[in-house]
A and B are shown apart, each in its own frame.
Chain A
Amino acid sequence: MAKWMSVAQVKEKIKESSAEEVTARYLELIGKSKINGYVTVSDKALEQAKKIDAEGHDGPLAGVPIAIKDNISVAGLPNSCGSKILEGYIPPFNAHVIEKLLAAGAVILGKTNMDEFAMGSSTETSHFGPSANPWDLERIPGGSSGGSAAVVAAGEAPFALGSDTGGSVRCPAAFCGVVGLKPTHGAVSRYGVVAYANSLEQVGPLANNVEDIAVLMDVIAGYDRRDSTSIESKTEYQKALVDDIKDLKIGVPKEFFGEGIHPDVEKAVWDAIHKYESLGASWEEVSMPNIKYALASYYIIAMSEAASNLARFDGTRHGLRANGENWHAMVSKTRAEGFGTETKRRILLGTYALSAGYHDKYYLKALKVRTLVKQDFDKALSKVNLLMAPTTPNPAFKIGEKIEDPLTLYLSDVNTCPINLAGLSSISVPCGFTDGLPIGLQIIGKPFDEPSVLRAAYTFEQNTDYHTKRPPEVA
């Protein structure tokens, strides 16, 4: 059995052999893994596959295995969010996207590693230790959905679900040389996804090719009455997969090629844009003057929402519970022991930004900046169809290299978080290498214009071979 298979190939294999055999093969690979991609391997995966073999299933993903980020609730499997504070918590319900996957016949392999509560760009803030980048085991896979990206890159799952609050799907996709989509805010239900920053995040798929992203979106996207921010749409994602971008107008926001960008990254992205040009597209530079404030605004909003979201982890109802002489002492100790340093930092900063006397100066101002950033995108996207830019200014860094310097680490999100602020759709596709490390091209579209984004990504993939490269370290 080939190590890296597309969903179509997996389905073919299931027909030839069985869902059980395919799942067993993935479980075997996971058993030999060197990347610490999975936090929990499901002991029900084989059973699930057997059941599909025995009973038959006509869902679009019948018997196809998938990896799930550990902040998406799967009933009966631990949902740790990379944190100690959720130790012992097993959700009694499925996230909306999991219901959809199960109905489609997918087999859940397990839960993947992530930065604690999705706060980070490297998986180093995970209570379970960092995952390794399959392209260089001494490097981080990106984050926060680093486990999901790493297992897909390493062939330990054909595809995976992550979540993207400020780049958490696209950054690890770029670092691991896989495809990752952040859908428009509202395209996919967030029900059952443990919230980091509600107004910013979306569940997003990661895969080895654009087609599999579309396959997954056709399963998970759509309105869910349990998420009031989700929106009904009739988009058929796989229909967007057309190898033709003639007349496409590309905008290149120069602010996304700022100081500190790796020259090879800059070159690879421009090469990609020129590739589009050769395929019949045109491009122009666009200016987005407020982008420089986006990162600050993003972090203030994300931390403020996070401080509130994480208040429920108080040891009273679920997860870790420390001993204390009274309730307040118990809560303090539980949170002191249960949360990691980065999570505590963000809770403190978020609490500060919302406090009386600082609320207007920080939180309110961040909201105003958010509006300006949105307007910049609206304006740019009124002239062009899509924007293209590097997903991250640099390739994957070494484990431990930046973890002591949070501000530098935060800069990893500089090109991705503005898209979350504006609620747009955006994909990262492999577009080159530097010193053997993958580089990601980010394609940004209007809200709910995933079809244009996917079409451009698909066309690029059909005319290049970056997505066929496999990491040597785990081959």
Chain B
Amino acid sequence: MAYENPDGVKIGLEIHIQLNKLKTKMFCGCSTDYHNAAPNTHTCPICLGLPGTLPVLNKKVVEAAIKVGLALEGEIAEETQFHRKNYFYPDLPKGFQITQYDYPIVSNGKVVIEGEDGEHVVGITRAHMEEDPGKLVHIGSIEKSKGVLIDYNRSGMPLIETVTEPDMRSPKEARRFLDKFRNILEYLDVFDGNLEGAMRVDANVSVHWGTRVEVKNISSHKGVERALLYEIMRQKNVIRRGGKIVQETRHFDEGRGVTISMRTKEEAEDYRYFREPDLMPMRVRDWIPKIKETLPELPDAKRARFIEQYGITDMHARSLTSKIMLADFYEAVCAKGVDPKVAATWTADVFLGELNYRDLLISSYDGGTIGFIHAKDPEVKNSFKVLGMTELVNLFSEGKVSDRAAVEVIRTILDGTEEKTPSQIIKEKGLFKAEDDLVTKAVAEAIAENAAAVQDYLGGTEKSLNFLVGQVMKKTKGTADAKTARELIVKELKE
């Protein structure tokens, strides 16, 4: 059934992503690998805007932008050029930002998302290249700050700003779009969404097909959804009280989850765009065919192939292809000859679920090992081997471990600090299925040998159950899981 959009919500997004997988900055040779570096150590006269310096365009930025454009099924401009956007801000060393204006490199693309009512197309108005400014660091909190420090490590980082059509009809669709968009970019290997400041979003939203309001600079997908939920509620209430929505720019306060007015349309800045005279217009038409050849299989295509090739469900395929590194990991496991359906369950349901539960983000994959970092603390790291998953899936398929035991293995690896194979863990923890049988046998014996205790328990004396569990533990020499033993006894006696 078609989605009715009862509040007439229209959402359009402007997304800045850093091309942080490129080695060097947009207009100089400085390294982009500054995330754990001391402030102002990844700078040079060019990205500091020293007088007399000139920008030299990093061709890889243009190639990446074309790649993104092709992946978004957009039109690539045959000729493109850069403009200056003039404004004063301490993080902007030249007093202008080099960006694109009326000749963006990409226009008229689209992204298909899982919408409120099935597949839904979100139009891409344009995508263009621009440079990132530096970063302001407040001493103390923003409100009570005694001063501001400027870190120009970020200055000159290559960005792609993508502008969508106002095609999203709910905060959920906006979030779905961002997830999909990020996924595509990671497939293209131009973007690592885990890095700080990698993606920043401005959201335009209106209700009842009315005036739009812009919510600026939201730094997470969750944040976008929350900001939009709040903003839609606010706008509906303004209208309900007979008020009018004014065109304005609002700021999202992540801490309080509310949007706050920054400026109205009348105060809008005049950026005095003009063509950057230090960079020549570029004809990129001839580059396109070659770049097209380097385009990888994209998420939708991969998903369809997984369903076809591995015979797995759409849900599993969706989940496995939601991260290029996870998809590659899964395929590597399948390549070892395991049952792909079983592997899909263990990878998409259990493994991914355990990662999410622990707030671990997939951050690397090198063909043999998939690595993760903690969402809040990148210092917390761990990894999982293709061989580990292969072994586990095989043990499970062969009936040598129970599903509970297999889950336990995954948890042990994710929580552990030493590297261990599944069989090592199973051995150490005594998780072989045979052990399960031993417990079952011990339970039966304990019940048969202790009729009095059984009677007491059935009569309502809970303590007697503890006695029975103790007996089972004794018989299994402590290898049984007490909780399991308790459950088995109860189950046995209730039947």
* Complex interface: stretch among B82-90, B294-302, B346-354, B355-363: B82-90
Chain A nearest CB: distance from B14 CB in Å?
20
Which chain A residues lie closer than 8 Å to B45 at the CB level?
91-93
Q: Are B274 and A304 in contact (CB under 8 A)?
A: yes
Which chain A residues lie closer than 8 Å to B148 at the CB level?
327
Closest to A357 in B: B270
* Complex interface: stretch among B50-58, B441-449, B450-458: B50-58
Which chain A residues lie closer than 8 Å to B53 at the CB level?
191-192
Q: Are B88 and A311 in contact (CB under 8 A)?
A: yes
Give chain B's interface residue range (CB within 8 Å of chain A): 20 to 34
Given contacts A93-B45, A308-B84, contact A195 B52 (CB under 8 A): yes
Chain B nearest CB: distance from A436 CB in Å?
38
Tell yes or no: A314 within 8 A of B by CB.
Answer: yes
Closest to B270 in A: A356
Tell yes or no: A351 within 8 A of B by CB.
Answer: yes
* Complex interface: stretch among B244-252, B276-284, B461-469, B472-480: B276-284
* Complex interface: stretch among B93-101, B165-173, B205-213: B93-101
Q: Are B48 and A79 in contact (CB under 8 A)?
A: no
Q: What CA separation (Å) do A76 and B343 show in the bound complex? A: 65
Tell yes or no: A194 within 8 A of B by CB.
Answer: yes
Q: Are A308 and B56 in contact (CB under 8 A)?
A: no
Q: Are A191 and B52 in contact (CB under 8 A)?
A: yes
Chain A nearest CB: distance from B252 CB in Å?
23
Given contacts A91-B50, A312-B51, contact A359 B277 (CB under 8 A): no
Tell yes or no: B49 within 8 A of A by CB.
Answer: yes
Interface residue ranges of B96-154 to A (CB < 8 Å): 96, 148, 150
Closest to A363 in B: B274
Interface residue ranges of B355-397 to A (CB < 8 Å): none
Tell yes or no: A287 within 8 A of B by CB.
Answer: no
Tell yes or no: B272 within 8 A of A by CB.
Answer: yes
Which chain B residues lie closer than 8 Å to A327 at the CB level?
90, 148
* Complex interface: stretch among A18-26, A222-230, A247-255, A256-264: A222-230
Chain B nearest CB: distance from A447 CB in Å?
15
Tell yes or no: A461 within 8 A of B by CB.
Answer: no
Contact with A along B47-86 (1 / 0, CB 8 A): 0111111111100000000000000000000000000101
Tell me how many residues of A have a C-beta within 8 Å of chain B.
46
Q: Are B277 and A311 in contact (CB under 8 A)?
A: no
Which chain A residues lie closer than 8 Å to B84 at the CB level?
308
Contact of A316 among B51, B52, B90 (CB under 8 A): B90
Q: What CA separation (Å) do A197 and B277 show in the bound complex? A: 9
Contact of A331 among B48, B49, B88 (CB under 8 A): B88
Q: Are A308 and B95 in contact (CB under 8 A)?
A: yes
Q: Are B56 and A226 in contact (CB under 8 A)?
A: yes
Q: What CA separation (Å) do A321 and B164 show in the bound complex? A: 42
Closest to B282 in A: A228
Q: Is the interface of B mostly helix, strand, loop or mixed?
A: loop
Q: Are B274 and A316 in contact (CB under 8 A)?
A: no
Q: What CA separation (Å) do A81 and B52 show in the bound complex? A: 11
Q: Are A308 and B270 in contact (CB under 8 A)?
A: no
Q: Are B93 and A312 in contact (CB under 8 A)?
A: yes
Closest to A197 in B: B277
Most buried by A among B50, B86, B90: B50
Contact with B along A64-95 (1 / 0, CB 8 A): 00000001110000010100001001011101
Q: Is the interface of A mostly helix, strand, loop or mixed?
A: loop
Q: What CA separation (Å) do A398 and B54 show in the bound complex? A: 37
Q: Are A228 and B56 in contact (CB under 8 A)?
A: yes
Tell yes or no: A305 within 8 A of B by CB.
Answer: yes
Chain B nearest CB: distance from A294 CB in Å?
18
Contact with B along A181-199 (1 / 0, CB 8 A): 0000000001111110111
Chain B nearest CB: distance from A187 CB in Å?
15
Contact with A along B428-449 (1 / 0, CB 8 A): 0000000000000000000000
Tell yes or no: A17 within 8 A of B by CB.
Answer: no
Given contacts A312-B95, A351-B272, contact A226 B51 (CB under 8 A): no
Which chain B residues lie closer than 8 Å to A191 at the CB level?
52-54
Most buried by B among A198, A311, A351: A311
Q: Are B50 and A318 in contact (CB under 8 A)?
A: yes
Q: What CA separation (Å) do A363 and B277 show in the bound complex? A: 14
Q: Are B52 and A194 in contact (CB under 8 A)?
A: yes
Most buried by B among A305, A307, A308, A317: A308
Q: Are A228 and B49 in contact (CB under 8 A)?
A: no
Q: Are B50 and A199 in contact (CB under 8 A)?
A: no
Q: What CA separation (Å) do A359 and B271 show in the bound complex? A: 11
Chain B nearest CB: distance from A277 CB in Å?
40
Closest to B55 in A: A228
Contact of B51 among A79, A308, A314, A354 (CB under 8 A): A79
Closest to A227 in B: B54
Tell yes or no: A233 within 8 A of B by CB.
Answer: no
Tell yes or no: A355 within 8 A of B by CB.
Answer: yes
Q: Are B52 and A73 in contact (CB under 8 A)?
A: yes
Which chain A residues lie closer than 8 Å to B52 at the CB level?
71-73, 79, 91, 95, 191-195
Chain A nearest CB: distance from B142 CB in Å?
14
Q: Are A359 and B272 in contact (CB under 8 A)?
A: yes
Given contacts A228-B56, A228-B278, contact A312 B49 (CB under 8 A): yes
Q: Are B150 and A81 in contact (CB under 8 A)?
A: no
Given contacts A73-B51, A191-B53, contact A229 B278 (CB under 8 A): yes
Which chain A residues lie closer than 8 Å to B57 at the CB level?
228
Q: Are B94 and A198 in contact (CB under 8 A)?
A: no
Q: What CA separation (Å) do A232 and B48 show in the bound complex? A: 28
Which chain A residues lie closer than 8 Å to B50 at the CB level?
91-93, 317-318
Q: What CA separation (Å) do A318 and B48 show in the bound complex? A: 10
Contact of A355 among B55, B96, B272 (CB under 8 A): B272
Ordered nearest first, which 9 A-B pairs have the shortest CB separation?
A311-B95, A354-B272, A199-B277, A198-B277, A194-B51, A192-B52, A73-B52, A356-B270, A194-B52
Q: List 17 A-B contacts (CB under 8 A).
A: A71-B52, A79-B51, A86-B51, A93-B50, A193-B52, A194-B51, A194-B52, A195-B52, A228-B280, A304-B274, A305-B277, A308-B96, A311-B94, A316-B90, A317-B49, A354-B272, A355-B270
- Seen from chain A, the residues whose Cβ lies within 8 Å of a Cβ on chain B are 71-73, 79, 81, 86, 89, 91-93, 95, 190-195, 197-199, 225-229, 304-305, 307-308, 310-314, 316-318, 327-328, 331, 351, 354-356, 359, 363
Given contacts A317-B93, A327-B90, A327-B148, 15 further A-B contacts (CB under 8 A): A73-B52, A86-B51, A92-B45, A92-B50, A191-B53, A195-B278, A197-B277, A227-B278, A228-B55, A228-B56, A305-B277, A311-B95, A312-B51, A351-B272, A359-B272
